[in-house]
Amino acid sequence: MQTIRQRLRGVFLTVLLAIPATTWHGPARAHEKLHVQWTSDRVLNAVAVADNGRTFVSFPYWGGGGNGPTVAEIDASGQPHAFPDARWNHPDGTRGDKQPFVRVNALRIGPDGLLWVVDSGDANVGGPPNPAKGAPARLLAFDMDTGSMVHAIPLRAASTSHSYMDDIRFHKDTIFVTDAGDPALVVVNLSNGTQRRVLAHDRSTTDDRPMYAEGHMLMAHGQQVRIHADQLEVSPDGQKLYFQPSSGPMWVVPTAALENPTLSASDLSHAVTLFHDTPTTGGTAIDGDGNLYVSDVNRLGILRITPQGKTSTLIHDRRLVWADAMWIDSHGVLWIPAVQLNRTATFQPDGVSRLHLPVAIYTMDLHLKPVR
């Protein structure tokens, strides 16, 4: 009898053979509802907008250099300013939990009103083992009004030598983190300080199929790119966690199962079910009605997937080159950073960047119901 994993591999192989990367038909025409909100000559990878309109962005280490802060607030005139201050955004020799940002990969305004930052530390997804004495991955939370640090949570206990802590979502006193370097989810309990590594090397957290962007298989250093557990979203009622490797597919698991420390690894794995065969994805969002928004970086679009798994194309636009971590603000506007990850030097066969600067954050006023 075939195992579930064998059947899934058969399905994925059939799909890949029947629908190769050459089915990408070139740039889509510009969509009238997609508006430029902000542009940058430095590559960014995330945006978060507070209910009062304050806008925060992060600039990853793989963005091609350039001077400026790692985490910034965009003022009313469109200028970025280091957040929470200049010291946090410039190495100064400090070590420990309060040292300046090392490698920020994500930021998110939590339900507690704090700005949470995922600092991956001295790690490089898909690279050599992380240095034993390097800076660990950390979760950092800041008061947006005062800039003071409220939480600093090193993730040493949940990390391995190949971990790359990637993104973050929340459910009550629980924080969920994806490990894109060594496939797993990390469950952090804010009440008691515990952190657990779950679904390690599970079929649901492991990237085991090719990634495609703009019609090309994503390669780095002559090998297929592997970005393991990456995108994740919590359902509005808090009962489900959707998650996936960057290549897809998307899986779903009850948050109660993830939060149960007595559940065996086998039972937890069996609680995970396949939700949707998503394409190579840069970023996601979820609205208050439970609809998921998933970027398709191969066909330059955004998919809308209902809680029942029904899919439609929200938008198809040539400007959406690697749409990354999206955000739905309090007015129901969808914010879409298009960051051109696949065009950076790392993913070019000759090591030469093919970025078309500036990169941009786009918005669509869709009157969505935000998750609050």
CA distance 115 to 125: 24
What is the phi/psi pair of residue 249, to 5°?
-80, 180
Mean pLDDT of 300-327: 97
pLDDT tens-digit readout, 161-181: 999 999 999 999 999 999 999
pLDDT score of 212: 97
pLDDT-wise least confident of 82-86, 124-128, 255-259, 268-272: 124-128
Q: Token digits for 195?
A: 């952190």
Percent of the chain with pLDDT over 90: 82
What is the reported pLDDT for 249?
Answer: 98
98 is written with which tokens?
A: 């309060």
Asked whether the predicted pLDDT for residue 297 surpasses 70, the reply is yes
Confidence of residue 91 (pLDDT cuts 50, 70, 90): confident
Averaged pLDDT for residues 11-35: 51
Average pLDDT, the chain: 91
Write the DSSP string, 199-245: STT-TTT---S--EETTEE-EETTEE----EEEEEE-TTSSEEEEEE
Residue 18 has pLDDT above 50, yes or no: no
Q: How far apart are CA 138 and CA 98, in angstroms?
A: 10
| Structural domains of the chain sorted by starting position, each given as residue range(s) with its CATH number in brackets | 43-287 (2.120.10.30)
* 6 pLDDT above the threshold of 60: no
DSSP structure string for 99-117: SPPS-EEEEEE-TTS-EEE
pLDDT band at 349 (very low <50, low <70, confident <90, very high): confident
Look at residue 275 and tell me whether its pLDDT is greater than 80: yes
Alpha-carbon distance values, 90 to 63, 75, 93, 240, 297 (Å): 16, 20, 9, 38, 32
Q: What is the pLDDT of residue 5?
A: 42
Of 91-95, 243-247, 314-318, the range with the lowest mean pLDDT is: 91-95
> Quick one: which H or E segment has residue 76?
none
Q: Which residue has the tokens 């010291």?
A: 87
Run of H or E residues at 270: helix 265-271
pTM higher than the cut 0.75? yes
